[in-house]
Structure 1
Amino acid sequence: MDYGLSHNCSGIAPLMTAEEAAPPPTGFSPGYYLGLAFNIARWDHIAIRRASRDSNAIYYAAFFWIAAATIVLIATALSRTLAASRVSRLSGPAMVITVVIGMSFGLALMALLTFIQLGLCHLMAKWFFGGSGSYMGVMRPLLLGWFVNCLILIPVAGTLAAAIAWTAVLMMVFEEVDGIGRLQAFGISAGINFCFLVLQFMMTPVTRHL
C-alpha cells in the first residue's frame, strides 16, 4: 500500500531495490533483453524502469519491434499483395519486387504510426498531468513490449486482445516512467489507442490495394 501511494504522488519516486539498481549486461545480450521484453508484457514494474534507463535497450527494442511488425505484416498483408500480383499477371522477378516494396512501405507506415502514437501519449502525459519522463525513456520499454500486438493474429478476437494488451502496456509504462497516476495513464493510453485503431480500420481499404 505504501508503494502504491508513494508512486502515485507526483515527484516522489519509489525506493530502488538492488535488482533494479543492478547495471545492465555488457556486450551482446539478446537473451537478457528478450526476457526484459516478456517481463514488460507481464507488467513488471522493475523491468519497465530498468529498460527506461538503459541506453542500450533501444537497439534491441528496435530490432524486436521490426521482427514483431514484420510478422504482423507477413500474416496480414503478404497474402493480399501476392493475390494482387497474380491478378496483374506479374512475372516472378516483378512479383518479388512488388512484395518487397509493399512490405517496406507497410513497415515504414507502421513505424511512423507507432512513433506518432507514443509521442502523442508522452506529450499528453507531460502537458496535462506533469509527466516527468523523457521520450526515449518511454520509447525503450514500449518498443520492447510492442510484440503484444502480435495477438492481432489470433482469429476472431485477435484485434480486441491486442488492443487490450497494448493499452495495458502503455498504461504501465507511462505510470512508471512519466510518473503519472494510473487512472490518467489509462485514460491517455486507451484514448490514443482507440483513435489509432479507428485510423487503422479507415486505412484498410487503402492498404488492401498495396
Structure 2
Amino acid sequence: MAVPRNLSGLERIWTPMLNALGDIAQIVAAFASVAALLIALQANQLANKTRSESYEQQEKSHQLEREIAEKNEKFSKQAADRERLRDQREIASNMQAWWVYRETEYGKQWGIVLSTTGPVNSVFFDVRLTVLNKGEEQREKIAMVPPGQYFIPSVFKESKYSTGQPVLDKPKLISAEEIEKYQPLLHAANYVVKQIEFRDQLGQQWLWTLKEGLTSL
C-alpha cells in the first residue's frame, strides 16, 4: 500500500505497520471463520453420526423386542399345544381292551372287554383292534364307540359247539354287573390284544401297542 507524502516521519513509520496489522487481522478473522466453519461441519457430522447411531441402536432394540415377543409367542403356543395334547392323551387313555372268559352251561365263553370310560368321557372313531384269537391274528374294526363298556364275543361261525377257529363277533354294550361275571385272561399267550388304533373326537390319531403303550400319530 502506498504511503501519502504529506505524513510526518513517525506517521510514515506507523501507518504501514497499522495497515499491515489490519491486513493480518482480516487474515486472522478469515482463518477464524474457516476454523469456525470446520468446527461447525465437524459438529454437524458428529450430530449426524450420533443420530445415525441412535437410530441404529433403536432399530436393534426394536428388533430384539420383536424377537423376544416372537419367542414368547412361540413358547406360549408350544405350552398350549403340550397342554392340549396332555388333555387329549388323558382322554385317549380311557380306550382299553383285554381278553376275558366266563363259565357257562355250554363251556367257556371267550371275548374281549372294550372300555372307553374315565374321568372325562369321549366318543372314539375308526377303532381298529389287532388281537390274537386262539393263536390266530385277527382284526376288528368299529366305526364309532360311544362312552361305555362293550363285550366282543369270540364265537365259532358254524356253531357254538365247534372246535374250529373262532372269530370276533360284533360288540355289544354291557353293564358293570355283567363285566364282573367275567375273569380276565392274565397269562394266555394265545389270547392277546396286540394293538388298538383309533381317532378321538378332535381328530387326533392314536395308537396303543402292547410294547410301546399309547402314542399319538
TM range (shorter): under 0.3
TM-score for both structures, normalised by structure 1: 0.22
If each structure's helix is expressed as a fraction of its own residues, which one has the higher value? Answer: 1
Structure of higher CA gyration radius: 2
- Higher strand proportion, which one? 2
Bigger RCO (CA 8 Å, 6+ sep):
1
Q: TM-score with structure 2 length normalisation?
A: 0.21
